[in-house]
Amino acid sequence: MPSAEQAAVPSRPLISEPADRFNKDMAGLFGFCGLVTTSCSLLDTAARTFLPLVLALPPEIFEKQGLAAEFYQNTRDFIDGKLGGPADDLAGYIPLILEMIFCRSIDNFLNYVSELLALIFITRPEALRSNEKISIQEVLQYKDRDELLGALTERRVLSLSFKGLATLDEELGKALAFPLFPDAVSRERAAFLVERRNLAAHNRCVVNRLYLARVQSGTEKLGDRIVFEPKGVVDALGFLIDSVDEIDVRAEMKFGVPRTVVSSRTR
């Protein structure tokens, strides 16, 4: 019998290998951002702690060391709070950092979808059935059934991955009775996030006609520049993480996709 202390610790669920790679990539992204933020903060603290000792030295020493009076004055201004330090410098890059986090997270989610589809087709080869024809010449290129199955899986995943997310969701619903999202609201939100990522990646965040045709937000006009706000990015990441959890469970229930990796997350 487990002790009361052991029983109080929530068990970590099993997840698929694609979900595990998604989680690890997200953890790496969060870890990198935390490292940058912490490093700047520590540099700021260290500078404010030790620079007063430097200022206690006679100004002549700076001149003898070939340091200009400007260095002395800048150091004084930093200590007095008139000049920003590393943490202040970092603050100016927050919009760029948020954009990078957002785009990388969307890419990570799309990679998860592609890898999960490949795993579904490998686990249940009959799911590959379609109207697509393959010639005998193509079949003879492969030495055995497994190699042929791998090639067909790769081809099917690539063909699906080039579609827009909303179109992909529709096709999976029709072909496999497995839409990625449980309702239209979730599907539209995911498609909206992907379109914002595309705008950032391909048009420097400037709203173009393609974006307006695909996103019926009603708040952005041609030529506007979208800005990634902290709350919006955090909400988007939470949505992606929850979506992966939900999709992964349904993939196991419907296709028997193996979930053998212990999740490192507790939520």
pLDDT at 90: 86
Tokens 């081809």 — which residue? Answer: 155
Provide the 3-class DSSP secondary structure of residue 262: strand
Tokens 């930093």 — which residue? Answer: 78
pLDDT at 66: 61
CB contact set of 12 (below 8 Å; sequence gap of 6+): 262, 263, 264, 265, 266
Provide the 3-class DSSP secondary structure of residue 85: coil
| Contact assessment for residue 12 and residue 266, using Cβ atoms and an 8 Å cutoff | yes
Nearest to 105 by CA among 187, 188, 198, 29: 29
Specify whether the backbone of 81 is left (phi greater than 0), alpha (psi in -120 to 50) or beta.
left
Residue 83's CB is within 10 A of a number of other CB atoms, namely 13
pLDDT at 6: 47
| Contact assessment for residue 255 and residue 120, using Cβ atoms and an 8 Å cutoff | yes
Query: Which amino acid belongs to residue 110?
Result: L
φ, ψ dihedrals at 111, nearest 5°: -65, -40
Q: Which pTM was predicted?
A: 0.80
pLDDT at 134: 56
Tell me the average confidence (pLDDT) per consecutive run of 10 residues in the chain, 267 residues long.
48 88 94 90 81 71 64 74 80 91 94 89 79 56 60 65 80 89 93 93 93 82 93 95 95 93 71
Q: How far is Cα 129 from Cα 176, in angstroms, rounded to an integer? A: 10
| DSSP per-residue string spanning 93-135 | THHHHHHHHHHHHHHHHHHHHHHHHHHHHHH-GGGG--S----
| Contact assessment for residue 13 and residue 258, using Cβ atoms and an 8 Å cutoff | no
pLDDT at 68: 59
Integer CA distances (angstroms), 219 to 7, 226, 230, 236, in order: 50, 11, 19, 18
Q: How far is Cα 215 from Cα 24, in angstroms, rounded to an integer? A: 30
| Contact assessment for residue 207 and residue 225, using Cβ atoms and an 8 Å cutoff | yes
pLDDT at 23: 95
